[in-house]
Amino acid sequence: MYLVVRYGAEADAAVDFFAPVAHLITPFHDASEYEDDFGLTVRDVVRGFEAAAAREWIDLDTFDAATFEAMERLEQGDRTWLIPGCIAALSSPGSPHTRLAPAECARALAQMGVNTIVQLNEDLPYDTRAFERNGVRHVPLVYPDGDVPPDAVIDDFLALMSQPGTVAAVHCKAGLGRTGTLAGMWMV
């Protein structure tokens, strides 16, 4: 990935450089107990980085590692920009493991420029008014964990993200599965 982002190498050439040790690289597998049925490879991931760099979603010259590491800490709300200035991910505000009260999370998101929080999980450990008081609109697009998002949720999310000026923070329980699914759909 570094070769792609820093030196502009093509993804396939960067991966091919490591061909002599490719047999040592374990393929990706999610946290589930089920057998991998999608075959995500290192090549796929590096191609994704290549696409992100081409869209200027990754810029090593402006990337602030200290800020990134601070934001992703549980006590800071477990926040991460997926596309800087467009879409962020976080685990459910107010959940015991994030250690950041909803009002504090709302202020932190507003300081990031986020104006919309999208809730994907049903169990909501926070009062949505904490966000609204800080100028962050709350949009519930709830669907069950582990499911494919319903067409209505996909349509509503894509319409929301297509509205000019929308800067969204998306969360489910952990900020990984449902959050990553919808964010990935927007990126495509």
Q: Is 34 left (phi over 0), alpha (psi -120 to 50) or beta?
A: beta
Q: How far is C-alpha 77 from the geometric centre of its chain's CA atoms? A: 13
> What are residue 30's phi and psi, to 5 degrees?
-70, -175
> What are residue 79's phi and psi, to 5 degrees?
-100, 145
Q: How many residues does this entry show for the chain? A: 188
- Does 105 qualify as catalytic in the annotation? no
Set 172, 174, 182, 183: catalytic member: 172
The C-alpha atoms of residue 138 and residue 124 are separated, in whole angstroms, by 12
Helix H or strand E encompassing 79: strand 79-83
Residue 49's identity, in one-letter code, is F
| Measured CA distances, 6 to 52, 130, 145, 152 (Å) | 13, 40, 37, 39
Catalytic residues: 172
